[in-house]
Amino acid sequence: MTAERVDLGGHDTPCLPADRLGAALGFGPGMLWIKRDDLTRLAGGGNKVRKLEHLVAAALAEGADVLVTGGAAQSNHVRQTAAAAQLTGMDCVGVFSSDPPPVPEGNIIIDRLLGLDERWMGPLGFHEVDAAITQVCDELEAEGRAPYRIPIGGSSPVGALGYVDSADEIDQVAPAGSVVYVAVGSGGTAAGLGVGLGSWDRLMGVDVVGGRSLEGFVARLGSEAAALIHRPDPGGRAGFDRSQVGEGYGTPTEECHAALELAVRTEGIILDPVYSGKAMAALVADRRSGRLPADQPTVFVHTGGLPGLLVDRYQSWFPQP
């Protein structure tokens, strides 16, 4: 690769067979694998660390002294960015698309432990958050700081390189021709995987946000990432499963709840209710309907996000005995 990478503990995660879960879904032996990107080694783990290894390298190369990014109140990306800043001697500002909660919970507790500078902007749309990140960067520059702007989810061409790395790791371990299921929020993870896998036809991206078009953006982001490292654009055409969004980003669904229970009771693996749980719900639905054949090698990318499960919104899933 031509891009630099700072080691934040985001690469070489295990890719392991999940035969008990596979058997429960009717897969043949050795057909279902899980890429454990929840086991990256920064502030509770998760997929954003891979992107941050490249983004932080770029920030340091530019002489930045503060990382500026944003997302929803329970953003795993903001948590991991704050930790990356601490590890590399920078400050971090997090721009949030809501009002502050009355009581800190989940990721917000960890954000405060990490000393994150929180900017609560009130309700904002997806694209409005990126505009607010730029506004904060402008304010910091006026104060004499050197900010490095990181879009929502780290989804830039540089950030997407982290998931080219992940695809390369998958292909070193999993059966040849595996299809890969992954949750899609901001799109950078899917873009990098598409480049690394070499074909969009090998990728099943599960939309967890809804209300926007992903195909063109992800394909364009993948093309720009590929150009940075002199790889060809992926073949095929990017497509996304929108069946698991429910009423919107982060909203509980019974399909997600059932997928969480199935994964933990067969493999002891805890998924999260915003990203990986809904992606697993899509995989379960595809296998049970026959859209995903029992003899098709399949890799599920676990993107982390455990702190998001520990918020009031999901209490109804766990009633008092």
Q: Which long-range contacts (CB under 8 A, 24 or more apart) does 208-213 make?
A: 208/183, 208/184, 208/244, 208/245, 208/249, 208/274, 208/275, 208/278, 208/279, 209/126, 209/184, 209/185, 209/245, 209/248, 209/249, 210/242, 210/245, 210/248, 210/249, 211/248, 212/126
* Element spanning 50, H or E: helix 48-61
Residue 179, beta-bridge partner list? 298
Contact criterion met (CB below 8 Å) for 85 and 49: no
Known catalytic membership, residue 75: yes
* Element spanning 261, H or E: helix 254-267
Query: Which amino acid, 130?
Result: D
Residue 84 CB neighbours (<10 A): 29
The Cα-based distances of 75 to 67, 139, 309 in angstroms read 15, 23, 12
Contact criterion met (CB below 8 Å) for 192 and 167: yes
What is the number of helices (H) and of strands (E) in the chain?
Answer: 10, 10
Beta-strand runs (E) in 146-280:
147-149, 179-184, 203-207, 240-241
Q: What is the CA radius of gyration of the chain?
A: 19
Which class for 16: exposed (0-12), middle (13-18), buried (19 or more C-beta within 10 A)? middle
Contact criterion met (CB below 8 Å) for 25 and 32: yes
Residue 93, beta-bridge partner list? 68, 117
**Could you give the count of Cα atoms lying within 13 Å of 252 in the half-sphere of its Cβ?**
15
Q: List the catalytic residues.
A: 75
